[in-house]
Structure 1
């Protein structure tokens, strides 16, 4: 069983090494295309190269994002809306009402 898990991890690492440069390349090209299509005429700035666009994309990603997936951005750390939905489904009516009351108390202005 362990060799399969190790093989799967190795396979995912290889897939990661293929996908990341591909995504960065597409994003860099998209930034370059948008910049060169809009900003030189609008603001009078110079056109940029692919590498400048890729660097700009990475800089913006570092400054304005956290490199986490889409499910990790909601609420506080560790908050999982799917887990909460499952807890509500499995709760007794009394527990469900207590949870609703707790959220009403927290969200009241």
Structure 2
């Protein structure tokens, strides 16, 4: 399998696999839509092309799933944590003051309860 993707055959195999995956996912979206949404809300069924458009639209709106080891929120990555850990006390207090003035002081909400 590794040898296939190292050869010139990969320029044919990868696009074919990508298109096959797109059609398979679109078919699953179509089945789920027609089975659940159309039945629950009493609206008409969709065809394969509409399901593909719905799938692509959802990917554009909600992201392309940067999951796994590289994914996650930008502030949770190690480099960002290292930057915050390396700040000195003066910069940290300046940031806290700015956040309290800009947004709110969460300590005041905790004291009220």
- Fold equivalence (TM over 0.5): yes
Q: Which residue among 62, 66, 69 is the counterpart of 2:64?
A: 66
The unaligned stretches of length 5 or more in structure 1 are: 1-6, 82-98, 103-109
Structure 2 counterpart SS, 1:71: coil
Q: Quote the offset at 1:15 in angstroms.
A: 2.7
C-alpha distance in 1 between matches for 2:27 and 2:55: 10
CA deviation vs aligned residue, 1:48-81 (integer Å, no higher than 9, x gap)? 000000110011011111364633213438x5x8
TM-score normalised by L of structure 2: 0.54
After TM superposition, list the pairs within 5 Å mapping 1:26-105 onto structure 2.
26-66=24-64, 68=66, 70-76=68-74, 79=77
Query: Structure 2: which 5+ residue stretches go unaligned?
Result: 86-113
Superposition misfits of 4+ residues, deviation over 6 angstroms: none
Secondary structure of 1:48 counterpart: coil
In structure 2, what is the equivalent of residue 15 of structure 1? 13
* CA offset digits 1:11-46 (Å, max 9, x no partner): 433332011101101100000000001112200111
